[in-house]
Chain A
Amino acid sequence: MSGKIIAKVVDRAQAAIDPAEGIAAVSDPGFGGIDVFIGKVRDVNIGRPVTGITYDLFEPLVLNEFTRLAAEVQATFGPKLKLYVAHAKGRLGIGDVAVVVAAGSPHRDEAFRACRQLIEVVKHQCPIWKQEHYEDGDSEWSEGCSLCHVESEPAHAHGHAHDHPH
């Protein structure tokens, strides 16, 4: 039983993200706990009906950051941990899977906490951008978290350009 990290970007035009793949990737005969986070596209944001989302990614850096950040999670919760992260790219419809993070470990506590830590840094520190498409035909890039000072801050904090729910 040894830890591993799987990180990928999935182009929606080619395939959908399969949460079962994430579960299989972090399974191990020695593991009693697997925690999975599935992020999906919802039909409303701040009261405005949404019809879909386009995700833009800087792919080489995203993959570097997924691996680097997952290694930090492993360093926190132990080398046995197995982690999986997949993020969608391109145009997604309502209910489509945008992101899957899975963590497997001998016991549930580390699995829950590792999964939570990894999805938070994926959301706040990786070069991924969300463009929302609205019912009225309009589209807007979401306000997000600035990467300007991210490395100089404590792990739980992150710089915001603007207040936003997440």
Chain B
Amino acid sequence: MKQVNLQLFGAFSDLDASREIAVDVAGGTVADLRQALRELLPARWPGFRAGLLDYSAFADQQRVLRDHEALPDDGRVAILPPVSGG
């Protein structure tokens, strides 16, 4: 079990005023984090549009991480919903 400190951006920032949540993840990959959120979001925030997770990417401080990649050692991960800059 690994604990991830998930930084919240865009629509996800509405989940918690601190813009960060702790997530317990059963495995060590980004896909495991996605699965943990798939279970956590509807249970803890039933009003949130949990389907957004399917369109969201994850990143460490330097780059976007793909689902097969390992979670960073420091446990800091950002969730990136669909982007709308400009």
Contacts and interface: CB of A to CB of B under 8 A. Distances in A.
A50 to B, nearest CB: 13
Interface residues of B, number: 23
Contact of A64 (B9, B11, B62, B86): B62
Interface string B42-80: 000000000010011101011110000000000000101
Contacts of B63: 61, 64
Q: Give the dominant DSSP class at B's interface.
A: mixed
Q: Give the dominant DSSP class at A's interface.
A: mixed
Interface of A: 39, 55-58, 60-61, 64, 87, 98-99, 119, 122-131, 141-148, 150-151, 159-162, 164, 166
A151 B57 CA distance: 12
B81 A141 contact: yes
A64 to B, nearest CB: 6
Contact of B82 (A57, A146, A151): A146
A125 B80 CA distance: 11
A127 B83 contact: yes
A129 B86 contact: no
Contact of B85 (A126, A160, A161): A126
Q: Which 7 A-B pairs have the closest CB atoms?
A: A128-B85, A129-B10, A144-B84, A144-B82, A123-B86, A147-B57, A142-B84
A11 B39 CA distance: 36
